[in-house]
């Protein structure tokens, strides 16, 4: 495992970040209940991007991985993960950089661009149009994941997510507060995304709606389909191949 460094967000919460490679910076944000290590390092995606000549900067989002998971509700205002991303960009004094994310990381990247962040290129993994505009449905599911943490049985629709939470040792109280901080991105807000954008999605992944619909709604998007479901697509070598090729083009 790559040892993390740490920085403080504007509210004093200590956040972990890992780096690999040298060159043009690209910030990668992992998915819900995952970590930089699991999402980007373990299956070789970060190494492929670094091998293409990039400095890959990968934070553990608040409550995830090696970052702190405070229980105070006031530390989870709307779009808190966007604030954390802005603080990371400031911490590293990043001017010209690329930005990408998977699932929650993709949602956070979109919210950051809507708020004014201007990466050169954008990567949205495991994301469709409904995943941006209709968080309530997905949010309700993850609320059930937390509620059924001790009671779900194998075969229940929440079972796999609960097992992943347990494996990742996610704090349920902090997770509940974080879920409440997420906000929707309506289709009209997508006009802010003018930079070249890669959508990379598993062929059997419909967890966040339709990736082709999202591609059609963006000004300059290309869609690459890789093997797998929402959970398994990040383990596939094709994910890293597509991201490295897009960034290096």
Say how far apart CA 77 and CA 65 lie, in whole Å.
20
Mean pLDDT of all residues belonging to the chain: 96
Domains and CATH numbers, the chain: 5-146+172-248 (3.40.50.1820)
Q: What average pLDDT does the segment 56-76 reach?
A: 98
Q: Phi and psi at residue 89, in whole multiples of 5°? A: -60, -40
Q: Which residues sit opposite 15 in a β-bridge?
A: 7
Tens digits of residue pLDDT in 120-135? 999 999 999 999 998 8
List, in order, residues 6 or more apart from 81 with CB less than 8 Å away: 29, 61, 62, 104, 108, 111, 178, 181
The stretch 191-206 carries a mean pLDDT of 97
Region 54-73 average pLDDT: 98
Report whether 4 contacts 14 (CB < 8 A). no
Calculate mean pLDDT across residues 143-164.
95
How many CB atoms lie under 10 A from the CB of residue 244? 21
Kindly list the distances between the CA atom of residue 18 and the CA atoms of 56, 139, 183, 188, 196, in Å, as whole numbers in the listed order. Answer: 8, 28, 27, 34, 25
| Helix 80-91 vs helix 104-114: crossing angle, to nearest 10 | 80
pTM: 0.97
Percentage of the chain exceeding pLDDT 70 = 99
Taking each helix axis from N to C terminus, what angle separates 135-147 and 159-168, rounded to the nearest 10 degrees?
70
Q: Is the pLDDT of residue 159 over 80?
A: yes
Residue 50, SS3 per DSSP? helix
Q: Which residue has the higher pLDDT, 83 or 134?
A: 83
pLDDT for 135 equals 81
Token code pair at residue 134: 């209709």
Mean pLDDT within 47-68: 98
3-state secondary structure of 68: coil
Asked whether residue 17 carries a pLDDT value surpassing 70, the answer given is yes
CB atoms within 10 A of CB 40: 30
Is residue 1 predicted with pLDDT exceeding 70?
no
DSSP structure class, residue 222 = E
DSSP SS3 for 141 = helix
Place of tokens 């802005």: 86
How large is the average pLDDT for residues 215-241?
97
Mean pLDDT over residues 80-97, rounded?
Answer: 97
- pLDDT score for 2: 65
């Amino acid at each position: 495992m790559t040892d993390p460094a740490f920085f403080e967000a504007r509210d004093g919460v200590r956040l972990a970040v890992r780096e690999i490679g040298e060159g043009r910076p690209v910030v990668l944000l992992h998915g819900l209940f995952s970590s930089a290590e699991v999402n980007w390092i373990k299956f070789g995606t970060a190494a492929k991007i670094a091998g293409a000549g990039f400095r890959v900067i990968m934070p553990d989002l608040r409550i995830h991985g090696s970052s702190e998971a405070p229980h105070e509700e006031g530390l989870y205002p709307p779009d808190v993960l966007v604030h954390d991303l802005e603080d990371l960009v400031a911490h590293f004094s990043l001017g010209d950089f690329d930005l990408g994310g998977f699932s929650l990381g993709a949602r956070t990247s979109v919210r950051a661009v809507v708020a004014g962040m201007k990466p050169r290129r954008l990567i949205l993994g495991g994301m469709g149009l409904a995943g941006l505009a209709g968080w309530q449905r997905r949010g309700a599911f993850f609320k059930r994941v937390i509620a059924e943490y001790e009671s779900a049985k194998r075969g229940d629709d929440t079972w796999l997510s609960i097992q992943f939470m347990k494996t990742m040792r996610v704090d349920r109280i902090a997770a509940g507060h974080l879920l409440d901080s997420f906000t929707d991105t309506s289709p009209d807000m997508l006009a802010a995304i003018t930079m070249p954008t890669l959508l990379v999605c598993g062929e059997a992944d419909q967890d966040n709606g339709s990736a082709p619909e999202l591609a059609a709604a963006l000004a300059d998007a290309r869609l690459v389909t890789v093997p797998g479901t929402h959970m398994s697509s990040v383990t596939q070598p094709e994910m890293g191949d597509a991201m490295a090729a897009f960034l290096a083009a």
